[in-house]
Amino acid sequence: ESLINRIAAGEIIHRPASALKELIENSLDAGGSSIRITVKDGGMKLLQIQDNGCGIRKADLHILAERFTTSKLSTFMDLSHIRTYGFRGEALASISHVAHLSVVTKTKSESCAWKACYSEGLLAAPKPGQTVEPKPTAGNDGTTITIEDLFYNTPIRLSALKSTSEEYSRILDVLTKYAIHNPKVAFVCKKAGSPSPDLSTPSTSEIPNTIRLLYGHTVAKELVSVTASSKNRDKSDEDESMETDELDDDPESWRCEAHITNANYQAKKMVLLLFINHRLVESSRMKRAFEAVYNGILAKGALPFIYLSLEIDPRSVDVNVHPTKREVHFLNEEAIIEKISDAFQKALTVQNH
Ligand code: ADP
Ligand code: MG
């Protein structure tokens, strides 16, 4: 059974960067203002993420790494969670099957932090003979998750990994994207033992600034902001305050914020940072549609940088896609993509005059 669990876990956690993506989403969900990552050997030896978010209650630690179960569902499920990232409840469980997982966490109301180790979905002793129960320890409010020896028991997964530097660059890539999308959260990433971070963002920025910081001035100076939404807004429309309010309860309502390069920027590779409900995803349909928009504007073969954040009713996102498939589908996909493409077209044309 443990072999089956390991294989299943390897389907969700492919490599250090996919583990990190899950941990970042958890940390963002916990609502802190700082996320610090430490990496050793491309994340294969060590991947540690420290946040200053809400922490995990001591009483919940015993089921933290369980697979999706009724008890876990009622403990961890709340509506805000579903609205943001959708509920799966499998990341920590999966990691515990293919690595050494430990957690140090403290909520505001707890007087000390608690440390727990997990193996195969359950609390485990840090070393043979030691107690499996969470142990009191020193620590600040928030959570530190430590993953060591990823795929130590899954040789096939281990052998599919690339070099440590390649894995590390994938980690930085995921991190860069989340840092851009979350300009109010300070991100730091460093190699263990290294004095200076390889990535560092402030906690008080705006998206175009984080793009400049992480993708460079060449991209940032050519950015155009675009918004679009399900609300049909004419130029005469008095309601321009769309960004501030919540999505309507209407399942068909959506809105998007984008920062896209204009015709002055011509890259060989298209960069599409796509977030749907704050989750980093892929959509080949969207990619094709945007390529088509730029085809008419850029020199042949030249491609844009696009950051796009789309918020739609969580009920209309297809959550049945396998978790490893970042490719996402949603209700009214074609109509929404068309409307966004039109908005891009308009913004780029105006720019050109
Ligand atoms: P999911 O995020 O899909 O619920 P996970 O296995 O990733 O499943 O996490 C299980 C639960 O553990 C989360 O729902 C959350 O309540 C809690 N949790 C995980 N990481 C953190 C964190 N960094 N801070 C606070 N709570 C966390
Ligand atoms: Mg999660």
Q: Which atom of ligand 1 is nearest to the CA of 53?
A: 24
Does residue 173 share a domain with residue 124? yes
> In the prediction, which pLDDT does 78 show?
55
Chosen domain end from 181, 200, 219: 200
Give the ligand at the shortest distance from the Cα of 9: 1
- Number of helices followed by number of strands (H, E) in the chain: 11, 14
Does residue 195 share a domain with residue 248? no
Does residue 238 share a domain with residue 311? yes
Does residue 120 share a domain with residue 36? yes
Chosen domain end from 154, 184, 200: 200
Does residue 155 share a domain with residue 193? yes
Residues of the chain with pLDDT under 70: 69-89, 232-248, 318-325, 351-353
Q: Rounded to whole angstroms, how far apart are CA atoms 142 and 145?
A: 10
Residue 91, ligand 1, Cβ within 6 A? yes
Residue 91 Cα to ligand 1 midpoint, Å, equals 8
Domain ranges, residue 288: 207-352
Residue nearest to ligand 1 atom 14, measured at CA: 76
Q: Which atom of ligand 1 is nearest to the CA of 32?
A: 24
Own/partner long-range contacts of 192-199 (Cβ < 8 Å, ≥24 apart): 192/38, 192/39, 192/40, 192/46, 193/40, 198/172, 199/172, 199/175
Chosen domain end from 154, 174, 200: 200
